[in-house]
A = this chain, B = another copy of it.
Amino acid sequence: MGKKKGPKYNQIIDAAVTVIAKHGYHQAQVAKIAREAGVADGTIYLYFKNKEDILTSLFEEKMGRFVETIRTKIESCQTVDEKFLLLMTTHFEQLEADKQLAIVTQLELRQSNTDLRLKINDILKGYLTLMDELITEGKESGYFDPELDNRLARQMIFGTLDEVVTNWVMKDCKYDLSALAKPLHQMLLGGFCKR
């Protein structure tokens, strides 16, 4: 069980995204996912331990490279300032590139029970670590306020990005999301106040 191999593994995950995006979390039965994937119900259980495992694997597969992509990209930047802008831009671009997936991760999977949400948080932990490193770097380089509370700053960045993406998804993804990175970057780093 759990043979994370073969084309069917990915077929099933993609089918889950499609079904959840189309019918919603509570109407995404295993049988429906199996039909969408073109396999028998029982086949699902050759690749996944149970239904929850489909959802967490979905999150892992689809979001696993999410953070890595960001980390790689910002390496090329010189300043913390630039790094932050690129982090946000890349965050938005990646979600903008797969709107169906955005619906699933921003809206539908949040209806799942608390256990699944804890696993999602685990996956996000790498993202929070990255932000933490950036904040520390900013503080050490003298660019950020040295009194900054890392945890709060991190929650502020993540909470903001998440809320902005969720609003975009709820407005049917019909405006340019990555264009918002720049003004947000300015607001996060410079605050609301005039200088």
Contacts and interface: CB of A to CB of B under 8 A. Distances in A.
Interface of A: 24-26, 107-108, 110-114, 117, 121, 135, 138, 142-146, 148-149, 151-153, 155-156, 158-164, 167, 170, 180, 183-184, 187-195
A156 to B, nearest CB: 5
B152 A164 contact: yes
A18 to B, nearest CB: 17
A25 B125 CA distance: 25
B148 A156 contact: no
A151 B188 CA distance: 14
Contacts of A110: 110-111
A82 to B, nearest CB: 14
A194 B143 contact: yes
Contacts of A188: 156, 191-192
A145 B180 contact: no
Pairs A-B, 4 closest by C-beta atoms: A159-B163, A191-B191, A159-B159, A190-B191
Contacts of A164: 152, 155-156, 159
Contact of A145 (B142, B152, B193): B193
A163 B166 CA distance: 13
A158 to B, nearest CB: 6
B153 A187 contact: yes
Contact of A158 (B108, B114, B163, B187): B163
B155 A167 contact: yes
A156 B187 CA distance: 9
